[in-house]
Amino acid sequence: MNDKTALITGISGQDGFYLSELLLSEGYRLHGIRRRSGSFPSSRVEHRPGNHGTPGVDVHLHVGDLLDPIGLRRIISEAQPTEVYNLAAQSHVHASFEDPIYTAQVVAMGTLNLLEALRDYRDGTGREVRFYQASSSEMFGKAREAPQNERTPLRPRNPYACAKVHAFWQTVTYREAYNLFTCNGILYNHESPRRGENYVTRKITRAAARIKLGLQEHLYLGNLDARRDWGFAGDYVRAMWLMLRQDEPEDYVVATGQTHSVRELLDEAFGLLDLDWHDYVRSDPRYIRPTEPTLLCGDASKARTQLGWRPTVTFAELVRMMVEADLQAAERDRTLTEAGYTV
């Protein structure tokens, strides 16, 4: 058995993509869990390396769900992972107000299902497994201090964050009670051209590109004054991997330490295309959330000192990368539209 075998839940998501790339480049044998999809092949995994047996690319996709504890056990015993990265989640904060119970089931109970399966696997086989939990800055919610670090109290302000707090403490508990090697990465917002289209960065860069090419007239948004500590997803998955390389399992904040508002994001993205966003952006109360965190800004000193991690992509570079990718996608859409296809 390869002694570097990773299992990634949520492999079809943004972080799953970048983490797969990193682990493959580090010589890992890779297993991923994807949910069953009504359409085949699922558009979110079709392009993943190894899905079609690409020579030299060692990736095995398993159909599974965090809500199915028996299926998780089967996948773990098949994959025999040395490292497990739990990225799967209902990860949209606004959606969690609409579906709080489902969100809690996947994020909180799903993580517990996985931890229990790993504990039994380790106890049954004697094989050690290292575990990464995708914790979130949203857990700080109504923080009384900024920037936040590993010692900042957790004060979640939405159903998603409450569920992440549960998963966070279970991860700590399995470390302390059962001596499993488990780490929480408390990650601040990280984005990329692979970001889902309903998160604000991608919604804006995609709309700016489509407006530029005449494919869209307006962009409807919620709170423009919201601020976030935005970094590049490719940088953040490296921190996940580094956490599992340490001698002792610990929890780490991963962030840039700088915040920008949604307005600044609009300035940057539309500005790159010589557009004035005021001409296109409309307010839609449906995108306003019942609660927002106070100010999420991370202090990643511990990750910097202990992991040697630092972000390599600035806010301006991130927005440019996303706008350029969305412009290319919009050009493809325009070509198809002009040829009579519906996109």
Q: Which residues are catalytic?
A: 136, 138, 160
Give which of ligand GDD, ligand NAP, none residue 200 binds (C-beta under 5 to 8 Å, depending on kind).
ligand GDD
Among residues 152, 171, 189, 205, the one that binds ligand GDD under rule CB under 6 A: 189
Hey, what are 183's tokens?
């780490």
Q: How far is the CB of 279 from ligand NAP (least distance, A)?
A: 29
* Residue placing its CB nearer to ligand NAP in the complex, 51 or 212: 51
Give which of ligand GDD, ligand NAP, none residue 28 binds (C-beta under 5 to 8 Å, depending on kind).
none
SS3 of the chain: helix, strand, coil, percent, to 5: 45, 15, 40
Hey, what are 97's tokens?
């107000």
Q: How far is the CB of 36 from ligand GDD (least distance, A)?
A: 22
Q: For residue 286, give the DSSP letter.
A: G
State how far the alpha carbon of 22 is from the alpha carbons of 10, 15, 18, 238, in Å. Answer: 15, 11, 6, 7
Report the C-alpha gap between 149 and 299 in whole angstroms: 5
| 137 forms part of the interface with ligand GDD (CB under 6 A) | yes
Q: How far is the CB of 90 from ligand NAP (least distance, A)?
A: 6
* Residue placing its CB nearer to ligand NAP in the complex, 63 or 288: 63
Answer yes or no: are the C-beta atoms of 135 and 90 closer than 8 Å. Answer: no
Q: How far is the CB of 55 from ligand NAP (least distance, A)?
A: 25
* Residues binding ligand NAP (CB under 6 A): 9-10, 12-16, 33, 35, 44, 65-67, 87-91, 106, 110, 134, 136, 187, 189-190, 196
* Residue placing its CB nearer to ligand GDD in the complex, 178 or 199: 199
Hey, what are 147's tokens?
């920037």
* Residue placing its CB nearer to ligand NAP in the complex, 156 or 212: 156
Q: Which residues contact 334 (CB under 8 A, 6 or more apart)?
A: 213, 214, 215
Report the C-alpha gap between 8 and 31 in whole angstroms: 6
Widest CA span of the chain, in angstroms?
A: 63
Q: Pick the closest to residue 315 from 277, 281, 272, 273 (CA basis).
A: 272
User: Which residues in 209-228 contact ligand GDD (CB under 6 A)?
Assistant: 221-223, 226, 228
Contact positions toward ligand GDD, by CB under 6 A?
91, 93-94, 136-138, 188-189, 198-200, 203, 221-223, 226, 228, 262, 287, 289, 292, 296
